[in-house]
């Protein structure tokens, strides 16, 4: 089969490269051939995704599409450095368990009523997923959810056993009273069995449904939360990089602040609708039971609260290292937002000459990453100036200790936790986009899509979002965005609509992998706990995909229009097309 597949590819190559030069140039055909091969390899994963991403380094120079120097420059460009810097900060947050402290604190504040507990899990997961990887967030949150559910089940079992014991005692007393009053009925009554509580089977079913809803909400919230920030997930970085590649004069239209302004409200809307859908699907809309309106905490809710409180107690008071990491994290977010806010001059313009031209979001990300390798993890110990006034032995021990402790972050930890495969995957995508633009393939594709100009832009964006949402269920979300975004860019140029009108919905839809366990790592982690079946995820995921496409379509046609001026065809896109 492999030989037959190789023959098919070789035959396809020969036929493809022998096309009439008047319809497509040889240079464009070579570039398209490599892209098709990589698309097949990415979809089938015959070799690792990161290894497939290295193919442009070999084949573009060999086929004369681009020089090795031009191709290799794409693998660690500005966007990739932004991604690496953001990930280093995220690794430091994980290293010192700051994310767990934030999660438990929010859950304790929100409460443990079923509806509020699910909302709390989703809010915390989405917030953490904005800054650290979706996989790490899910891997941290699911054990907390599992511990809470287990404790609630154990408490409910104990309460049920006590109720049954009390009920049996009352029944025996009633039988003895009846026997005393009517001796002839002794034989019949003594043989009667106390029937099982019919509520027990219903409670078991309800318990299973609650477990499914609570675990599914975590993986869905992780995928939704990653869309809110530019560094939250891979497809967002693909868009940023390809905008810089395809439209170098785009005036930095996609930066951290502009992306957050567009995607964060969309994330909130999706999160609320997803919560309502999961609430209806798995818990029902019994407000008195789910919300606890006017009721006291049940034994299960007290048990869940005690579990969260015990987990929080294990962390102890906030340490010096956690405080430093939190400070660095807040500083990074402030630097990102204030670099180029748009409505006023940012710090890059005010503090540095031509700073807006030279400084991008990668500079503060790498700056904070550098500080994490310098700042100490423990408070520096100052040695007393007069050793005679203190214990001599203690002074000698203090002298032996280094003045500064180990730094907040160690390179070995970063090397172990950094997803280098995603870095290479992004680089491979940027190399493809650059080669497509320089070889003329993008222009040729755009010319073929000219008939789409008769279709309304909102309809084009909606259909493309649905296609991407389905395609990403069986392919890596980064690979999906890498393959489709250059095509969308060419199409936008051919029909004279704003490139972001189709590229933004396509990017967000690449993260809507809700239907299958293999679609994304958070789904696989949740599925591995055994509470849900594939059918459960498919049923919920179909509606989640519809919710996602609806929210993105709404966002791009309401607040997205004035924010990115989507009703116009920008001059920077027009000049790039002409070139």
Q: Which of 528, 558, 566, 576 is nearest to 219 (CA)?
A: 528
Share the mean pLDDT of the chain: 81
On the question of pLDDT at 227 being above 90, the answer is: yes
Listed by start position, the domains of the chain span 1-156+201-379+403-573
Which among 545, 549, 558 is positioned nearest to 513, based on CA atoms?
A: 545
Helix, coil or strand: residue 376: strand
Q: Is-contact 255 340, C-beta < 8 A?
A: yes
Higher-confidence residue: 2 or 255?
Answer: 255
Residue 361: predicted pLDDT: 87
Percent of the chain beyond pLDDT 90? 28
Q: Count of CB atoms within 10 A of residue 414's CB?
A: 18
Residues in the chain: 579
Average pLDDT rounded to a whole number, residues 532-536: 86
Of 118-122, 190-194, 446-450, the range with the highest mean pLDDT is 118-122
pLDDT at 17: 43
195 phi/psi in degrees, rounded to 5: -70, 150
CA triplet 532, 536, 541: central angle to 5 degrees? 120
Among 116-125, 131-140, 389-398, 414-423, which is the least confidently predicted range? 389-398
How much is the pLDDT for 263? 95
Characterize 5-20 residue by residue with b for buried, 16 or more Cβ atoms within 10 angstroms of its Cβ, and e for exposed.
eeeeeeeebeeeeeee
CA triplet 248, 252, 256: central angle to 5 degrees? Answer: 135
| Nearest Cα to Cα of residue 164 among 191, 203, 208, 114 | 203
pTM for the complete prediction? 0.77
Q: What's the pLDDT at 24?
A: 46
Dump the DSSP string for 5-60: HHHHHHHHHHHHHTS-TTTS-HHHHHHHHHHHHHHHHHHHTSS-HHHHTTHHHHHH
Of 262-276, 436-450, 471-485, the poorest mean pLDDT is in 436-450
Read off the pLDDT of each residue in 177-201 and give the average, rounded to a whole number: 50
**DSSP secondary structure of 459-471:** HHHHHHHHHHHHH
Q: What is the mean pLDDT of residues 203-208?
A: 78
Span 34-58, pLDDT tens digits: 989 988 888 888 888 889 999 999 9
User: Is the model's pLDDT at 194 over the cut of 80?
Assistant: no
Contact 494, 488 (CB under 8 A): no
Q: Is residue 21 over pLDDT 70?
A: no
Nearest-CA neighbor of 512 among 536, 559, 480, 555?
A: 480
Is residue 483 a contact partner of residue 39, using CB atoms and an 8 Å limit? yes
pLDDT-derived band at 396 (thresholds 50, 70, 90) equals low
**Residue 283, SS3 per DSSP:** helix
Closest CA to 508 of 313, 254, 276: 254
Left if phi > 0, otherwise alpha if psi is -120 to 50, otherwise beta: which for 319? beta
Least confident of 76-85, 298-307, 312-321, 410-419: 298-307
Span 429-449, pLDDT tens digits: 889 888 888 888 877 877 787
Closest by alpha carbon to 87, among 282, 234, 240, 276?
A: 234
What DSSP designation does 407 have? B
DSSP string spanning 531-571?
Answer: S--HHHHHHHHHHHHHHHHHHHHHHHHTTHHHHHTTTS--H
Lowest mean pLDDT among 130-134, 163-167, 184-188, 504-508: 184-188
Between residues 267 and 153, which one has the greater pLDDT?
267
Distance in angstroms (rounded) separating the CA atoms of residues 187 and 172: 14
- pLDDT score at 170: 52
């Amino acid at each position: 089969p492999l030989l037959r597949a190789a023959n098919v590819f070789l035959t396809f190559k020969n036929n493809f490269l022998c096309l009439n030069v008047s319809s497509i140039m040889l240079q464009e055909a070579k570039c398209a051939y490599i892209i098709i091969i990589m698309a097949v390899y990415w979809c089938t994963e015959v070799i690792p995704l990161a290894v497939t991403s290295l193919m442009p380094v070999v084949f573009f120079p060999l086929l004369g599409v681009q020089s090795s120097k031009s191709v290799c420059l794409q693998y660690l460009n500005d966007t990739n450095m932004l991604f690496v810097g953001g990930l280093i900060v995220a690794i430091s947050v994980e290293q010192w368990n700051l994310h767990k402290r934030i999660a438990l604190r929010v859950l304790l504040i929100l409460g443990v009523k079923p509806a509020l507990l699910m909302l709390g899990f989703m809010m915390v997961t989405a917030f953490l997923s904005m800054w650290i990887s979706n996989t790490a967030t899910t891997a941290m949150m699911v054990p907390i959810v599992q511990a809470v559910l287990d404790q609630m089940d154990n408490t409910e079992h104990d309460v049920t056993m006590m109720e049954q014991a009390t009920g049996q005692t009352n029944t025996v007393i009633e039988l003895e009273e009846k026997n005393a009053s009517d001796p002839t009925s002794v034989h019949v009554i003594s043989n009667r069995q106390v029937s099982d509580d019919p509520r027990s089977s219903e409670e078991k079913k309800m318990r299973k449904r609650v477990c499914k809803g609570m675990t599914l909400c975590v993986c869905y919230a992780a995928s939704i939360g990653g869309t809110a920030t530019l560094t939250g997930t891979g497809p967002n970085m693909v868009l940023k990089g390809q905008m810089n590649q395809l439209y170098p004069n785009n005036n930095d239209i996609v930066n951290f602040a502009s992306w957050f302004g567009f995607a964060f409200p969309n994330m909130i809307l999706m999160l609320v609708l997803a919560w309502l859908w999961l609430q209806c699907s798995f818990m029902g809309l019994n407000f008195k039971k789910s919300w606890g309106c006017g009721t006291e905490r049940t034994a299960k809710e007290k048990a869940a609260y005690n579990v969260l409180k015990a987990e929080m107690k294990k962390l102890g008071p906030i340490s010096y290292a956690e405080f430093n990491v939190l400070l660095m994290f807040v500083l990074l977010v402030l630097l990102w937002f204030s670099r180029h806010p748009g409505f006023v001059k940012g710090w890059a313009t005010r503090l540095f000459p031509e700073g807006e031209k030279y400084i991008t979001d990668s500079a503060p990300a790498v700056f904070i990453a550098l500080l994490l390798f310098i700042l100490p993890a423990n408070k520096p110990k100052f040695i007393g100036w007069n050793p005679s006034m203190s214990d001599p032995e203690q002074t000698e021990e203090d002298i032996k200790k280094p003045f500064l402790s180990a730094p907040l972050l160690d390179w070995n930890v970063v090397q172990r936790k950094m997803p280098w495969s995603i870095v290479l995957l992004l680089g491979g995508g940027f190399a493809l986009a650059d080669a497509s633009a320089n070889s003329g393939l993008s222009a040729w594709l755009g010319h073929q899509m000219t008939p789409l100009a008769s279709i309304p832009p909102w309809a084009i964006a909606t259909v493309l979002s649905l296609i991407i949402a389905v395609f990403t269920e069986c392919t890596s979300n980064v690979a999906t965005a890498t393959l489709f975004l250059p095509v969308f860019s060419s199409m936008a140029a051919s029909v004279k609509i704003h490139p972001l009108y189709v590229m933004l919905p396509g990017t967000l839809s690449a993260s809507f992998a809700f239907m299958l366990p293999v679609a994304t790592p958070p789904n696989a982690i949740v599925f591995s706990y055994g509470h849900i079946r594939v059918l459960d995820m498919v049923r919920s995921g179909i509606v989640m995909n519809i919710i996602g496409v609806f929210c993105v379509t709404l966002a791009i046609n309401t607040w997205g229009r004035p924010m990115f001026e989507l009703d116009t065809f920008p001059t920077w896109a027009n000049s790039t097309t002409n070139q």
